[in-house]
Structure 1
Amino acid sequence: MGNVLDSISKDNTRFTIFENNQVLTADQLNDLFNYLDVQTRTTRTRAIGVGIICGLEIGVLENKRLVLSKGTAITTDGDLLSLDFDQEFDQYEVFEDLNAKYPYFQLDTNQRIPLFELRNSQLVGAVPGLELASLENTTGTTFKDYVGILYLEDYDNDPDLCTGTDCDNKGITAVKDIKVLLVHINNVRTLLQSMPAMNKDYFKLEDIYIPRVKVSIAIDTFNELNASFNNVLSIKDDIKAKLIKAYQTCQTIIEDQFDNGDPTTGWSTLLDQHFTSGSSTSSQYVYDFARDISYAYNEMRESLFSDDMLCCPDVDLFPKHILLGLVRDASVKNPIVPFDIRNSTLIDISPIASTNFSTLLQPKLSLLRNIRFNPGTFIKRFNKRHIDLEYRHHFYESPILNINDEVNEFTRFCFMRLHSMITNFKVPTVVEVQNLVRGLKITPSYYEDAALGERSIPFYYRVNPNLPINLYWNFNANNRKKENQLLSYHSNTYSEVNQATLNPLNFNILKYNFFRIEGHIGFIRADVEAALNKVILENNLPINIQAVQVEKKLETIPPRPWFFPHLYMYEKSLKSTFIDRLDHADLVNDNLRAKDQSIPVTEFKTAKQNVLDNARDIGDPQFNFMSYRSAITNVMSATTNVKAQTSKYAFSNTAIPHDFILNADILRKTDVISGIYQETVIKKKTGLMLGNFMKDNPGLEHNGGVMRGGTFIIVYTADDQRVVADFMLPYASIDKDVIPNPPVYMPPIPLPTGPPIIPRFPIEDIFEIKPHYVKNFEDKIVPYVKEIDFDTKLTNRFNPKIAEIESKFDLKLAITNTKVDGISPQIAGFDQRLKDNSQLFNSVLTKDLRNVAVPNIGTVFGAKNLTNEVENFARNRKILEEMPLDAPGRDVIEKTVIESANDLTEKLNDQAVLGDQANSMVVKSILADVHSGTSLVQNLDLKGQANTIAERANTINRGFKFNR
């Protein structure tokens, strides 16, 4: 009997309407039956599906018996094959298919495929067969190498017209027996032709793979960078070929979408134009466009993959058989009830079963899974049924039951998206971006792990009213009429009301993990950085930016606000200390100047101010080390000149401030610090070259934006400082040495705005004038003892001191003599030298200072006797020296000193005195005492008079020629 659905004609699509008292014929009854049969079969195959609905798994037990689980299947001819109970087989027989002669069991040479029919010896009336356990030994095979077949033996049995009893024609019997067969895997090739060619369109096509852009770390020119992108764009020919094949494969589905027929010719022309534009700064966007095409194409290909769906399955696929898959290991929980699959009836098992066995017949237990199958190792892919995919007919659903994906509509949409992308691709020029109100823009989006339609629309797709890119970008948005709510650079051209689309950064952005950054290529680096920082700060965006240079030219890399604390702290401390010493010296100089107008204070102040003007931070762009060195040299020269004029002053309460300046090694230390700083800056700048930056920051990729928490890399050229490309890092690359507003270390002390700062001791006590006769006596005592006539009072002052020295020396000598007793002659010789030295000391000092007659110092100069004036001034000066500063009546004594000093200087300011060269040394000493005495005056009202007298003493002093 042939396939029912193969023979559908007007004879079995119509039937007779019966009437009362009508004589029914066989044709009328058969027409009605055939009509109903065809409708039933068609409903199964086209409205429900074909293949195994459930169960029907075959396996082998440890005792070498085969089992088949209950289940249901539908053939492509609409036959419903169903087993209500699990089956167990212990015998087999060679199956020859002599009745139905099913075409799938016949080879091209009219030979039959070797098949084995499985039987159960417990069935009533069963024909004895061979023991199933012997099949493996007989054939030299194993059960696991066999595939099970559920076969509906369908044929018409026409008995003889005459039988033993009569010759009445009783009609033809339609036989439909369900049989379980085995076929070896080597002989299953013909039967595999019955497997539906699922997803044939999907497997005809291949994915598009876009190579990565690999930039060499040795890159040094923009042409090399541009070549890195252009080398990848050779994928153009592969894209064109696969798009053409995709259209040809899906033409029956999509041809109605294109009014002008095959669009691939126009696509190829446009792709040639688009990929040619990769010779300029737009090459990175051409690369992005190629990636977009690959994503759109691959999504289209995936839409062709259906989940076991067949629309109007071919009747000849498997009209009378179902492939059950390979035999697998199995086990049973309870004995299996014998079941006659020919008439779907249970066999009486009371003679062979226990009393408890009948409980298996209860309906509620018949639904339990009695057989457990081991999947084995042949499972290569996951399936919802976890059963063999290669040798088993699964259930191939009708499209009405498989509507999770609107497959055909999505496929059409994908082709229209490709058409819109290729047609609308255009990279805006710098002039066009400048003319747009948007300029540089940051748009929230999703990373590449999201589908293309879920991401924001890139700015290199122009908005074409005749073929809107936003209409064909997202399938769900298209269905829900939300195409005007898609985020993009050009969103204001199609969405004039929705603020969430126009200004997405003002709304929730937590769901977005990527930010597109567009409208910056071709602009000046500094402007781009400023604009990006402004947008990032104003909108609190979780991204970082970094600018790197293509070329390895150190001089064109702009400095950053780098701050190195270890260098700044040391350098600040060094300069602050030096400036403090300059201030100290400046204070001393001012007071020296008040007493001696010859001190070059103005030169020092000018040099000091020059130091302050050039003492900038080493990181300050205006810091010039050579100017700073010159300023330091000048201030040291000025300090030397000042010090040369202070040799006559003794600094009693402090060290000489000028020596601190002259001995400072600030130049050498500043030079070292500056060198370290410059080397550090050079290293930082070197790291901002693209190749070097890649070595220090792996994972650099171009993606038209940056991930949340990542770093956006702006790439610019050295010659014109214009941005030519961008990359991203998926992590934050932050230069911790860049501090726009660094902390201020050791700020300078502000100058006082009120009265001058009073030091902790009187400034006059810092230094004092050395009387020349005292200095000469200390420096050259022997030459002057003959020239100076000590008076009795002075001699009495020396005798006790000398006696004290002799006493201490004699004591030490006695101790030494005691210790050296019994020591070697060398020590004894040393003792003798000590004694000789002692005698020498006594003979020189005692004899020369005590016994030599020293004439008294006279006070007659140029025939003028000034003894009274000198003694009067010395007496008043001595009283003032010993009087505390806050003593009552001090102002009276100060006035007396001024009067006596004035009287003395007027008497000394005489030509006769000035011409007395023999006594010039004594006069100079007296003048020095006058200068020192007037400096003791503290009363502000008397200061002017004291200074006048001191100036007069200096004038008289300069009138003498020093005579040694």
Structure 2
Amino acid sequence: MDTSTIFPFFEKGLPLRSRDLNAVFRRADAEVRHTRTCLHGMGILYGLHVTVETNTITIQAGAGVTSEGHLYCSHTPVELTNSTSPASKIIKREFKAESFGDYLDRPSTTDELNDTVEHLELNSIGTPLTSETLANKWLIVFFEVVAEDLKGCATCDKGKRANVTTKFLLIDDKVWSGNGSLPGLSAIFDCGPNTATNQSNTFTPISTTVVRLSLPDADGDSNLSDLYKNSLNTSFPGIKDELIKTCGLADTIFGLGSMGKDAASMLDVPALHPKTNGQYLYDYLRLIIRAYNEFVTTPFTRHMANLPPKTCFPKHLALGKFDANGGFSDDVRTPFYRPIFSGTTDTDFEYARQLYERLISLLINADFGSLDTEAKKELRITPSRRATFPVGMQAIPFYLKTDALQKNWRPASQFDALILSYDGTKRLQHQPFFDESDFYRIEGHVNQKITLNDKKKNQFEDLRDSLNLPFQVVLVKPLRGQDDVPSLTEFARQNPGLEHQGGVPSGGTFVVVVSGEGNTILGDFCLPYWVQPPTPKPVIADFEIKSQTTKPNEGETFVLFSTSENQNDLEWHVKGSNGDGTRLSADNHQNEYAHFFPLTNLPATHYLVTLTAKKDGRESVEKTTIVVINQKEQTPPKASFAVDAQENGDVSENGDEIKVTFTDAHKPFEIKLIFQNKSENADEYRWQLDGKLKSKAKNTFSQKFVWVAGEADPQTFTIQLTASRDGLIDIAEKTVTASLPSLNPID
């Protein structure tokens, strides 16, 4: 568009020249056409739909404006019946003209064959409109501009005039595909917004997204903060670039200088990783994207696309295209492009401006440094809404400066007078807004310890129950094989959709990730559905007598060793009594516990040894009686056992070794051995396999053994029988080995 404001003034008595009048005409004509395109739009405004019958094309009433501003308007249908013959006509250079004025000072060129286009001109006597004639043709409305000389004779000059004629043309598809086409006949799909520039000036939703954490596919030993860091480092550069580009345009439109662009340029998320393990930064970046997309999809910003360049369809409107069989489609006709401010109101503009100012506030009011303060270390639950609702209907995250954001957090509230969202910085006894919320922000717990109240509930369950909120709490650990709490990767595989959202939806599951040692909270995720907490492994209390030392005429010292399973605390307790009922007791919390059992005046003193294994409010108890005999001479127990029977395989005993021989006929290589107790002078027995208690049977003990075919070094098992009486013990031990046949190929 020519933005020059230079035009002539006419003074009284000044000779009037042709170029002065032509300049006035050019300006007036350009203003009219620019008004049409820039204030009303360009393309087909309405109507101009095409119907085809035998030898007749009907164009319905309608209106349209070319990209150069030429107006076509018909209030009645137009019927086209024939095409000219032959099917070739010279279109002069005027076809590519940019304005009428170019022809008033330049002679017409009738011999420039390179600027021609094959076409069929409709509504003239000639070739019938058969399917063969129409095949692969575009139907266009064309404004033909011809500069006509008005010379009456060879020596006189009456000037010239511009003739603008509206014609309906059939243009072969090769013109649109670039084969011999002219610049003025660009295909409409090449004429979208901003084809004249390399950089888009439109507001569109941000194309870069925050890379989601692929928890089910993550290495079980991956550090949670590393997963966040990789996501942020991958996503951040593209998001920042799009923010800078869009904010530069928005600053200009809303008259904010470079405020938004400067704020976007200063955004530096990766530098803040160590302070939050990445989870709040992850949440922050997703919040920025939602606020950005909410801004660019307002009624005002949806119309912010620039118009196509005026050279796109300067003197034609495409009505549609005939296929190879003569069938017509208007799916590819010239669309209508609205000007930048068309269809919006002052309210739309103000609403978009407030959303943009909120975006700037989000960029400059992150306060991650305050997360180390005591005020931010208090667990809080804030009523909010799900991410599908507008940002302003959600609670303000606690890592933002609440006071700075409350003014424009929810711009819609200034039109509908609704209350602003707030940051739940305190635990209130009465929360009136929970009934209307479907999401609960949960914050202030990262890097804190898991604690239990007197009812064995953690702090999340305690606060949830005090507010009577409907969601489940599940604890997971980041690594595999840690106690009875599932790993994060295993839990994610079993429960699809695990994601960090800064809280939990109503009726969902809040998943807390704790460290392997110390129960420090590393982060949180959520699921939109209810998940029953995994059943913990049972606590099993058990112990064995590791050694015994006799102190003559004083007593016995026993070293007790715990073989308990799945516990994190132990408590030993010894209780004994003499003839006067005196009680002796001792406590110890170690795996190995040595205790002296003194003699009394009684022939035998009984001591009850109790081991209690504990974990997370669960416990298991194992008890054994130790008897100290008060006599100089006594017959000690003698532990002994032998194989009594077997199923499958051949068994032989040689001293302390039991050998099982298998052949191919014995497959699978497993055997059940029955051991006969041959101990003497004992009344209590403990059968153990590889150090684990299996039975306290007095007579026989059976055990199944299994070997794997092809093992180069078959496993060896150890069977141990402990016989005891009145505090004295004896131990018999034998090994069970196997001889396997060579592994033969499978037929």
Counterpart check, 1:179 vs 2:170: no
Q: 1:262 to 1:485 in 2, by over 3 A?
A: closer
Structure 2 letter corresponding to 1:403: T
Q: 1:225 to 1:152 in 2, by over 3 A?
A: closer
Which of these residues, 25, 43, 55, is aligned with residue 51 of structure 1?
A: 43
Q: 1:261 to 1:132 in 2, by over 3 A?
A: closer
Note the residue ranges of structure 2 that are not aligned, 5 or more in a row: 100-108, 195-199, 537-747
Query: Matches of residues 513-912 of structure 1 in structure 2 within 5 Å?
Result: 513-527=438-452, 529-550=457-478, 686=484, 690=488, 693-694=491-492, 696-734=494-532
Structure 2 letter corresponding to 1:214: S
Partner of 1:290: 285
Partner of 2:230: 231
For residue 210 of structure 2, give the secondary structure of its aligned residue in structure 1: coil
CA distance in structure 1 between the aligned counterparts of 2:119 and 2:55, rounded to whole angstroms: 15
For residue 733 of structure 1, give the secondary structure of its aligned residue in structure 2: coil
Can you list the C-alpha shifts for 1:717-775, whole angstroms capped at 9, x where unaligned? 3432232222212111235989xxxxxxxxxxxxxxxxxxxxxxxxxxxxxxxxxxxxx
For residue 207 of structure 1, give the secondary structure of its aligned residue in structure 2: coil
For residue 397 of structure 1, give the secondary structure of its aligned residue in structure 2: coil
How much does 1:72 deviate? Answer: 0.8
Counterpart check, 1:425 vs 2:363: no
CA distance in structure 1 between the aligned counterparts of 2:430 and 2:331, rounded to whole angstroms: 52
Counterpart check, 1:393 vs 2:388: no
Counterpart check, 1:325 vs 2:320: yes
For residue 412 of structure 2, give the secondary structure of its aligned residue in structure 1: helix
Partner of 1:588: none
Partner of 1:132: 129
CA distance in structure 1 between the aligned counterparts of 2:192 and 2:348, rounded to whole angstroms: 17
Q: CA RMSD in A?
A: 4.9
For residue 166 of structure 2, give the secondary structure of its aligned residue in structure 1: strand
Can you list the C-alpha shifts for 1:485-506, whole angstroms capped at 9, x where unaligned? 223345x8xxxxxxxxx97973
Query: What's the TM-score, normalizing by structure 1?
Result: 0.44
Q: 1:729 to 1:102 in 2, by over 3 A?
A: closer
Structure 1 letter corresponding to 2:273: F
Q: 1:709 to 1:317 in 2, by over 3 A?
A: same
Asked whether the 8 Å contact 1:548–1:690 carries over to 2, the reply is: yes
Partner of 2:210: 210
Query: Matches of residues 155-194 of structure 1 in structure 2 within 5 Å?
Result: 155-162=146-153, 172-188=160-176, 189=178, 190=183, 191-192=185-186
Structure 1 letter corresponding to 2:445: H
Higher helix share: 1
Q: 1:316 to 1:273 in 2, by over 3 A?
A: same
Partner of 1:72: 63
Structure 2 letter corresponding to 1:388: D
Partner of 1:273: 271
Partner of 1:254: 251
Higher strand share: 2
Partner of 1:446: 385
How much does 1:243 deviate? Answer: 2.0
Q: 1:726 to 1:155 in 2, by over 3 A?
A: same
How much does 1:319 deviate? Answer: 3.6
Asked whether the 8 Å contact 1:543–1:712 carries over to 2, the reply is: yes
CA distance in structure 1 between the aligned counterparts of 2:468 and 2:421, rounded to whole angstroms: 22
Asked whether the 8 Å contact 2:475–2:485 carries over to 1, the reply is: no
For residue 251 of structure 1, give the secondary structure of its aligned residue in structure 2: helix
Counterpart check, 1:507 vs 2:432: yes
Structure 1 letter corresponding to 2:287: D
Q: 1:461 to 1:524 in 2, by over 3 A?
A: same
Can you list the C-alpha shifts for 1:464-487, whole angstroms capped at 9, x where unaligned? x6xx2444544535x659798223
Q: 1:720 to 1:430 in 2, by over 3 A?
A: farther
Which of these residues, 399, 402, 423, is aligned with residue 488 of structure 1?
A: 423
Asked whether the 8 Å contact 2:476–2:487 carries over to 1, the reply is: yes
Asked whether the 8 Å contact 1:470–1:484 carries over to 2, the reply is: no
Which of these residues, 439, 452, 462, is aligned with residue 401 of structure 2?
A: 462
Partner of 1:92: 83
CA distance in structure 2 between the aligned counterparts of 1:46 and 1:430, rounded to whole angstroms: 52
Structure 1 letter corresponding to 2:223: E
Q: 1:187 to 1:687 in 2, by over 3 A?
A: same
Can you list the C-alpha shifts for 1:598-636, whole angstroms capped at 9, x where unaligned? xxxxxxxxxxxxxxxxxxxxxxxxxxxxxxxxxxxxxxx
Asked whether the 8 Å contact 2:474–2:512 carries over to 1, the reply is: yes
CA distance in structure 2 between the aligned counterparts of 1:92 and 1:159, rounded to whole angstroms: 30
Asked whether the 8 Å contact 1:309–1:402 carries over to 2, the reply is: no
CA distance in structure 2 between the aligned counterparts of 1:316 and 1:329, rounded to whole angstroms: 29
CA distance in structure 2 between the aligned counterparts of 1:410 and 1:688, rounded to whole angstroms: 48
How much does 1:37 deviate? Answer: 5.3
CA distance in structure 2 between the aligned counterparts of 1:97 and 1:182, rounded to whole angstroms: 13
Asked whether the 8 Å contact 2:232–2:282 carries over to 1, the reply is: yes
How much does 1:543 deviate? Answer: 1.8
Query: What's the TM-score, normalizing by structure 2?
Result: 0.56
Asked whether the 8 Å contact 2:41–2:65 carries over to 1, the reply is: yes
Can you list the C-alpha shifts for 1:790-809, whole angstroms capped at 9, x where unaligned? xxxxxxxxxxxxxxxxxxxx
Can you list the C-alpha shifts for 1:138-164, whole angstroms capped at 9, x where unaligned? xxxx52x2222211223343333259x
Counterpart check, 1:149 vs 2:92: no
Partner of 1:634: none
Q: 1:225 to 1:277 in 2, by over 3 A?
A: same
Q: 1:29 to 1:416 in 2, by over 3 A?
A: closer
Q: 1:330 to 1:403 in 2, by over 3 A?
A: farther
Identity %: 24
Can you list the C-alpha shifts for 1:26-80, whole angstroms capped at 9, x where unaligned? 999989877765654444333322221112234543x354332221112344332
For residue 257 of structure 1, give the secondary structure of its aligned residue in structure 2: coil
CA distance in structure 1 between the aligned counterparts of 2:495 and 2:338, rounded to whole angstroms: 53
Q: 1:276 to 1:192 in 2, by over 3 A?
A: farther
Q: 1:321 to 1:553 in 2, by over 3 A?
A: closer
Q: 1:400 to 1:328 in 2, by over 3 A?
A: farther
How much does 1:699 deviate? Answer: 3.3
Partner of 1:907: none
CA distance in structure 1 between the aligned counterparts of 2:219 and 2:305, rounded to whole angstroms: 56
Asked whether the 8 Å contact 1:60–1:330 carries over to 2, the reply is: no
Asked whether the 8 Å contact 1:445–1:513 carries over to 2, the reply is: yes
CA distance in structure 2 between the aligned counterparts of 1:115 and 1:530, rounded to whole angstroms: 82
How much does 1:305 deviate? Answer: 10
How much does 1:179 deviate? Answer: 0.3
CA distance in structure 1 between the aligned counterparts of 2:281 and 2:379, rounded to whole angstroms: 19
Partner of 2:649: none
Partner of 2:571: none
Asked whether the 8 Å contact 1:77–1:320 carries over to 2, the reply is: yes
